[in-house]
Every structure is written in C-alpha cells, then in structure tokens.
Amino acid sequence: MVLSAGCGGFLSDPTPTPEQTESAPETIERTSTADPTPEVADASRQRFQFEDSPFRKERVIVGINDTVNYGNFTSAASDALSYWNKYGSTYGRYDAHFVLQPNATNPDIELRRSKQVNCPKERQIGCSPTPAEETVFNGSSNHTAFVDNTTVIVRIESSSETNWRMDRNNVIHEMGHMLGLNHYNYPIWVMAPPGKGIKHSVKDVSETSYPWRDPELKVYVDTSNVSKSEQSQVVNSTQEVIEYYNSGAEDTRIKELNLELTDSQYKADIIINPGANASDIYPKGRSVDRDANLEYLVKVVINVGAEDTDRSYDLIGRMMAYLTRPGSPPPEFKQVTVGTKQG
Ligand SMILES: [Zn+2]
C-alpha cells in the first residue's frame, strides 16, 4: 500500500472497524416497509471515480477464504456484494463493481470467514481497513494487518449460531468500509455500530409495522428433539401459519411478506424449536441508535414447549405475529398468550 505524502491516513493507524455482536440492539428509519435501503444518501459526500479509488480500477475481484464450514457463505457474500453493486453509487465514496470469484488466487479483496477474527478491538465480529482519500491498495506497504501481498483482507467472524443474514450484513458492513464509508455514514442501518451509532433515535421493533430489512423470510423447524408424530404436528402447524401470514393475515400484514420453509438452519431467519422446556421467543437484532432496544431483526428462535405441542398452531401463529408486526397480532391469534424473552 502507498500513502500519498503527508497523509497519516489509516495506514499508520489502521483503525479497523468495531463490530459487536449482532445481539446488541440496532435499526433504521424506514420510509417504507421492507425496503432494504430506505435512507437518503448524504448529498454532500465526496465521490471519486474508479480511477481515483483505492483500487484504481472499476472491477474489483473478491475472493473467499472460509474456514468455518457452516452454511453457504458464498451465497451470503454474493448477496452482500449485490447490495453494493446496486447501491454503491448511492452511498459509496468510490466507483467500484465487486466481482465475486470465490477461488481467485490473487483477488483484490479476500473475505476471510473464521470462528475467531482476531480483530484489533474486543467484541468485533468483523474488521477491515477504511481507506482514506489518498489510500491506494497496491501491496507496496508493510502494513500487514489487513493486506496480504496485494490482497486486502476483510475479516468476518461466524459460527454455527450465525445465520446467512448476519453473515450478509456483516459483509455489507465491512465492504461498506471498502467503499470508504465509516460508522456515521449512510446507510446507517448497516454502517452504524450496534448501540453506539447515531444520536437521533430510530423506531424500535415494537414501533415498526415490519421489523426486518426485507420481506422474504425463511423458516426452519428443528425436529431433532421430538418424536415423529410431534414433528409432523409442528411442521404442519408451521406450514398452516405460513400460509395464513403469506395471504396477508386478514390484511394485517405487509403485502410483500413471504415466509417459506427451509431445510437449512443457516438459511433460516426464524428457527422453530419444538420440545423445549417452555414456550418462548428469542429475537436477535440490532440497534443503530443509542438506546437499548432492537430496531430490526436478524434471527429469531421460537421455542415451543413440550407440553404445548398440541397448541403449536396457536403459539407459532402468535409468535409469528411478533415477527411480522410486533404488538399487533392478527384476529386469528389475538387471544393466544406466550412468554417473550429478549436474547
Ligand atoms: Zn465497521
């Protein structure tokens, strides 16, 4: 890497960006429900053509080095790069088109997913260099923390508790840094660090008409703890609940909502766990403002207590109400009660 004369930039102090765990709260002002980018970009931001970007080229090759061996990370990464190829010109400081080549031998950027990222700051779940105006990623610097030969390393922490959405958002965040964005730039829903971001408050999950960042949600039923007959009971209940919500839940839900069963726990946004000790719901999400409440969801576990299998339709339906419009159960499930825990 080369620094222009006089620039102390990030290279002398490669401030990698602090990510905490997804379980801390975070959200965004939504102008419309389920729009992944409902924010206005900062019109005053400085923008550069690709000739002046840190990569000095338009097509930036992104490789993958994945040692976690859980879930289809390539697919999550591909979704993240697609996000920037669509919205980079709106928010990014440089022109760049990311091209995913998972096995590239000498990519411009390597997405390195591992169980422990060893980022410079504690509790980070990802880190990468944020290029300053004069930064050029050309491999000629001895700052090895984030550069291997000519490849910029973007570190992503992940485990079997991490789902595709958390990985995707983490990659979107770090790749946002690659486009020159910092934690106070738009899109704040993904660039602000959890719980420490912008000062103005953003609507909490309980105040929104839809608490996810997009309308497509995958549902996984974990049948490992229950008998065959209980399995089919819960799977059937889940399927019926899904149909009810996909059809609008008596016009109480956003039209775009689309729930779908998946057989991949990694792909799942919602995990239904029958045979648990008690019926509860454990939402994970983020907060981009400075309050303690979740502002959007990234993963939710629904526990159906062993003694509640017989009424799993009612319980899952009620908990799905929280997941698709908190605080407002549709008529079908208005009378049903369940415990709620935040996790
Ligand atoms: Zn960051």
Tens of pLDDT, residue by residue over 194-240, are 777 778 888 888 888 899 999 999 999 999 989 999 999 999 999 99
Judged against a pLDDT cut of 80, whether residue 297 lies above it is answered with yes
Contact 265, 222 (CB under 8 A): yes
CA of 172 to the centre of ligand 1 (A): 10
CA of 197 to the centre of ligand 1 (A): 11
Judged against a pLDDT cut of 90, whether residue 143 lies above it is answered with no
Residue spans per domain, the chain: 9-191, 205-333
Q: What is the pLDDT of residue 342?
A: 54
Judged against a pLDDT cut of 60, whether residue 20 lies above it is answered with no
CA of 112 to the centre of ligand 1 (A): 15
CA of 191 to the centre of ligand 1 (A): 6
- Residue with the bigger pLDDT between 242 and 45: it is 242
CA of 194 to the centre of ligand 1 (A): 10
Percent of the chain with pLDDT over 70: 85
Average pLDDT for 183-197: 84
CA of 40 to the centre of ligand 1 (A): 20
Average pLDDT for 122-149: 75
Poorest-pLDDT segment among 12-21, 125-134, 275-284: 12-21
Judged against a pLDDT cut of 80, whether residue 11 lies above it is answered with no
CA of 170 to the centre of ligand 1 (A): 9
CA of 92 to the centre of ligand 1 (A): 14
pTM over 0.75: yes
Phi and psi dihedrals of 271, rounded to 5? Answer: -115, 125
Judged against a pLDDT cut of 60, whether residue 141 lies above it is answered with no
CB proximity list for 68: less than 8 A, separation 6 or greater: 113, 114, 115, 158, 159
CA angle 100, 102, 104 (to 5 degrees): 95
At the topology level of CATH, where does 205-333 sit? Rossmann fold (3.40.50)
CA of 130 to the centre of ligand 1 (A): 9
CA of 190 to the centre of ligand 1 (A): 9
Judged against a pLDDT cut of 50, whether residue 9 lies above it is answered with no
CA of 246 to the centre of ligand 1 (A): 35
Sign of CA dihedral 211, 252, 234, 274: positive
CA of 128 to the centre of ligand 1 (A): 8
Percent of the chain with pLDDT over 90: 60
Q: What is the pLDDT of residue 27?
A: 34
CA of 139 to the centre of ligand 1 (A): 22
Q: Cis before residue 187, ω within 30 degrees of 0?
A: yes
9-191 with 205-333: one CATH topology? no
CA of 96 to the centre of ligand 1 (A): 19
Q: What is the pLDDT of residue 28?
A: 34
Judged against a pLDDT cut of 90, whether residue 31 lies above it is answered with no
Instruction: Count CB neighbours of 29 within 10 A.
Output: 18
Judged against a pLDDT cut of 80, whether residue 37 lies above it is answered with no
CATH code, residues 9-191: 3.40.390
On average, the pLDDT of the chain sits at: 84
CA of 15 to the centre of ligand 1 (A): 10
CA angle 215, 220, 225 (to 5 degrees): 155
